[in-house]
Structure 1
Amino acid sequence: MPPSPLSKSDFETLSHFRYQLRRFLRFSEEATHRHGITHLQYQLLLHTRGFPDREWATVSELAERLQAHHHGVVSLISRCEKLGLVQRQVGRNDRRAVEVHLTPKGNDVLNALAGQHRDELLKLQGIFRVPGADELDAGAGTGKR
């Protein structure tokens, strides 16, 4: 059975979600720019420190988290390394792997920015939310297509 067509309400819900997402991303771009880094560099720092159960991540893990190609992440790491934000280390379990660790400077920048991002997310509580199936199916069976 083909999916049912979207209703006007579905389009409005999807539009509102994308609008709120874009507002948050713009905030992030401006905040990172004020700290002298790009939003991608911030995301690299965040995913490195935020990797589950440890304080570092491999290049492959960061590529997955950033949804980017391996070679692009290697270039991003190199730029962060030149800024003194991260350092590479040979993998402790697999010497072919490269571990990415934050430097003290990287931690300082991340702490400042992550605090601002947390505060901005808290301001968006109740405004920025993922629409549920009940909202996206709002026009189903009502003839409002």
Structure 2
Amino acid sequence: MTTRRKPAVSAGVPTKDDIEAMSLFRYQLRRFLRFSEEVTHTEGITSLQYQLMLHVRGFAGRDWATVGELAERLQAAPHGTVALVSRCEANGLVLRRASRADGRQVEVHLTVKGERCLARLASKHKLEIEAFGWAFNRTPPQE
């Protein structure tokens, strides 16, 4: 039985195994992102709009998010996130509400249309993640 050596976790020059692991990770990540781009396009939205909806619904303990929280999750500038929220709002996927707790904050919520779209897309993404889940949380298959 052949065992694969785990990449070294240390600072300094990456080993050949490190480079191979990084290459495989980037390949799997790109495959997943391409899949996501294709399925979101068939749904009539962009991958970024899907990500926004996913993050709106994905906060623990609540079903909404602030623009600042969404900007952080998307790793985007706040003004770009505002524009993305506006596009999603124009498509009927999200709506904005003034926060009851803090009137200076705006909460972004999914609409019924947004919930349905997210459910369809999240189901497809879940199946794709499970299809090559080892890339995220399991030992890779032997080559």
Alignment of 1:116-131 (within 5 A): 116-126=124-134, 128-129=135-136
In the alignment, what sits opposite 2:53?
A: 45
Alignment correspondent of 2:22: 14
RMSD (Å), alpha carbons: 1.7
> Which has the bigger relative contact order, CA under 8 A and spacing at least 6?
1
Alignment correspondent of 1:32: 40
Alpha-carbon deviation of 1:4?
3.0
User: C-alpha deviations, 1:34-86, integer Å up to 9, x for none?
Assistant: 00000100000000011110011111111111111100000000000000000
Gaps of 5+ in 1: 133-145
Q: TM-score, normalised by structure 2?
A: 0.86
The amino acid of 1:129's aligned partner reads F
Measured in 1, the distance between the counterparts of 2:120 and 2:11 equals 45
- Asked which structure has the greater CA Rg, the reply is 1
Tell me the distance in 2 between the aligned counterparts of 1:102 and 1:25: 23
TM-score by length of 1: 0.85
**What pairs with 1:32-111 in structure 2 (closer than 5 Å)?**
32-111=40-119
Q: Which runs of 4+ in 1 moved over 3 A?
A: none
